[in-house]
Amino acid sequence: MSFQLKTDRLYLQIEDSRQAGRVLDFYLRNRELFDRYDPTRPPQFYTLDFMATFMEIEYQDSVKGKMLRYYVYPLDDLDTLIGTVNFSRIEHGPFSRAAIGYKFDTAYHGKGYAYEACAAAIDVMFSNYKLHRIDARVAPDNVPSIRLLEKLGFCYEGIEIKGVEVMGQFRDHYRYGLISTIQ
């Protein structure tokens, strides 16, 4: 397992509940943007107690290899959380896949950080976890995210009709897939 990654400009780390305050602040700073695209969250999501519990569960699932969420920091400012890259529903065997998700602080959009972080994390999933495929879902109006997926090499595979609940309504999402080239 790779719980820490370093790129040219970024440090990615899987965190436990000790960083709940920092993570809650990240979500609160970007709530308006994230709520437009993320699955509907329970009202208590934006509390320190919920975030600490949520992060501890995720950390334990990471240890078990069920999911990973990297928290992303600039190398020149390791106290500033600027994004996350996560992989959920990790499966091995004949399905050999995971689903990717990511979010970045609006102040850091357009600087290539999401691409850099996602590319490094995807490499871990294909090389260390030996997955065959990574799936992605994206709202049709989330053009920057669609561009990111395509730049990462994901291929458009179709529309999932009313597949994700966002802001209390089930909405259509585009489906993308990336197949490993590692043999």
> Is residue 165 in a domain?
no
pLDDT value at residue 183: 64
8 A C-beta contact, residue 13 and residue 73: yes
3-state helix, strand, coil in the chain (%, to 5): 35, 35, 30
Which are the contacts of 55, defined by CB distance < 8 A and separation ≥ 6?
Answer: 15, 16, 17, 19, 20, 23
Read off the amino acid at residue 152.
L
> Is residue 12 in a domain?
yes
CATH code, domain carrying 28 = 3.40.630.30
- At residue 6, the 3 state secondary structure works out as strand
Between CA 168 and CA 85 the distance in angstroms is 24
> Is residue 157 in a domain?
no
Per the structure block, which two tokens stand in for 36? 């437009």
> Is residue 138 in a domain?
no
Q: What is the pLDDT of residues 64-75, one digit of tens each?
A: 999 999 999 999
> Is residue 120 in a domain?
yes
Number of structural domains (the chain) is 1
pLDDT band at residue 2, thresholds of 50, 70 and 90? confident
> Is residue 177 in a domain?
no
> Is residue 141 in a domain?
no
Neighbours of 42 (CB within 10 A): 8
Q: What is the pLDDT of residues 96-118, one digit of tens each?
A: 999 999 999 999 999 999 999 99
134: which strand partners?
98, 178
pLDDT value at residue 34: 94
- This prediction's pTM: 0.94
Between CA 93 and CA 104 the distance in angstroms is 32
97: which strand partners?
91, 133
pLDDT band at residue 22, thresholds of 50, 70 and 90? very high
Domain of 29, in residue numbers: 4-131
> Is residue 32 in a domain?
yes
